[in-house]
A and B are shown apart, each in its own frame.
Chain A
């Protein structure tokens, strides 16, 4: 529903000219030095916690426990031991396994809803059948159902189906939870394709299948990317669904392991700092590379979950 808001999410081309926006003219009169100072304060406040973690992750174990990360500036000692430790099976925390689990969980959980939602969105956008509007609104409304409402019955269902403790629980549940948003998002995009394009293809004798693949799919790429990235980050960063369905450590993702590490008594700071950083690197890279699409997916998917 948020896409209905009159927002332009595509980055505005930076006109270097003298055009002033309302905000910038408000700002410039707010005596610029103060405005800059406030902006810098916010930026620093937002960056320091992460910076502290980054520095900590490279400090030796006994120093992390005894002194704050800022002592690094007076006594700089760096080591890669923490990173070695989190990838060392002898510590019992081998993060490589959990990293693999996160990958194995995330890829199908992104691809499956993408395929199924494309089909459904196409049907809603370009076909006529009884009950279409009712069905579409129902699916749209399902977006607001909190996951919590579904978890226990789903777990019981998975036990009955005898797939509890397998990746299928996560693939199926993440895919299901993603469908309402994916269908809504893709439907909006497909709807915007000019009907003359579809008509022309029809006249050429193309059926629904070839229209979908030859006409729509190429146009749909930005929407698929937007949803794909949103869903990727959602699944990768999820803790609740993973905690609920992965009783077995064999299939737990990074978030579960990180949460376990941070919950144990006498926190293992050196493992925690390096582990957290390993888990951050992938989503941040994806975000930096595909920022444009990510923002779009985020705007559209903000009520999900």
Chain B
């Protein structure tokens, strides 16, 4: 049951065994809880929380603390090196490129995706084909980043500029059509990073659109009506009615996409593997830890990632508090 399954039968068997095992655990907990009569909340609560607390402390808390500790160790996790790993992250030219790329990603993706999502939400609002139009933009959200990257490989692909060689990438086809020379989109830095960012914008715009569209629809009609009677024009309507009303939702969308963007790994890994100066922190973490066995350094990168997430979350919570007050 705890071995590597190799045949289809074994795999399915193990799957059911795992489900049954956890069902049995839950059943046992409920059975014991049922024995307690009266108001023995403490004992029952402890029982109910037991599996969760075990998993969270062993699977999240302990590894998290251990990674922080390991970030002060060397590549093989044997010697203490102080802050050296962190110094490297902020001084090594290669790592500075990684930081620069991460900054590009985090600054561009949320704003571009939100702007497009908002524009589209407004444009299709109460249109005849609204739900269909929305589904088109929202579908990329449900597929994996890997599949999305494969889709975009067919857009960015490059073929050398020779006779009898046709471009098979859509973007280069357009370049050639307008008389340009085909470009190696995924190799030319920093262009390649921006083109990878386009993929994430493509995925996230649907998320922004969905949330913002819901917020737009929640604006009370009488406010809109009153503004219109006051002779507010379309731009004024957007600037003074729509935008203030959906501001909390915009903040949520921006911060959510920013957090997701910080951890972007799949796209870089699938498109370039982090080569050609496209690496970002999350990808660098993976290659350093698991490919180069540079483990202390990888741990430090993970911790930096964690630290970068915190201010965004704090900002998010603050804004929500303010809007609720």
Contacts and interface: CB of A to CB of B under 8 A. Distances in A.
B18 A251 contact: no
A150 B56 CA distance: 11
Contact of B67 (A100, A150, A244): A150
Given A286-B142, A302-B252, A108 B56 contact: no
A239 B44 contact: no
Contact of B316 (A1, A21, A111, A146): A1
A234 to B, nearest CB: 10
A82 interface: no
B249 A5 contact: yes
Contacts, number: 409
Interface in A229-271: 233, 236-240, 243-244, 248, 250-251, 254-255, 258-259, 262-263, 267, 269
A180 interface: yes
Sort chain A's interface into a size bin. Answer: 35 or more
Contacts of B23: 115
Sort chain B's interface into a size bin. Answer: 35 or more
B4 A148 contact: no
Contact of A120 (B49, B122, B146): B49
A189 interface: no
Given A42-B120, A251-B4, A258 B147 contact: yes
A14 B111 CA distance: 29
B162 to A, nearest CB: 13
A21 B125 contact: yes
A149 interface: yes
A254 B150 CA distance: 13
B46 to A, nearest CB: 7
Nearest to B265: A240
A127 B167 contact: no
Most buried by A among B46, B64, B126, B139: B126
B263 A119 contact: no
B325 interface: no
B128 to A, nearest CB: 10
B44 A127 contact: yes
B122 A27 contact: yes
Interface stretch (B26-34, B80-88, B89-97, B101-109): B26-34
A105 to B, nearest CB: 9
A219 interface: no
B146 A142 contact: no
Nearest to A305: B263
A263 B273 contact: yes
A207 interface: yes
Contacts of A244: 286, 290
A225 to B, nearest CB: 15
A9 B266 contact: no
B140 A279 contact: no
Interface in B128-156: 130, 133, 135-137, 139-147, 149-155
Nearest to B233: A29
B166 interface: yes
B64 to A, nearest CB: 5
B56 A179 contact: yes
B78 interface: no
B214 A8 contact: yes
Contacts of B191: none
B122 A23 contact: yes
A203 interface: no
A24 interface: yes
A283 to B, nearest CB: 5
26 contacts: A1-B316, A8-B215, A20-B221, A23-B121, A26-B242, A38-B123, A43-B120, A46-B206, A49-B202, A69-B170, A108-B15, A130-B42, A132-B45, A148-B301, A149-B63, A153-B67, A157-B63, A166-B2, A168-B18, A180-B56, A180-B60, A239-B269, A269-B154, A279-B144, A295-B214, A302-B207
Q: Considering the complex of A and B, which 5 residue pairs feature the smallest CB-CB distances, nearest first?
A: A176-B59, A237-B144, A153-B63, A287-B142, A150-B63
Given A22-B241, A23-B121, A128-B41, 14 more contacts: A14-B126, A24-B125, A27-B123, A101-B11, A107-B15, A116-B26, A154-B63, A167-B14, A179-B56, A208-B44, A238-B144, A239-B146, A272-B150, A288-B135
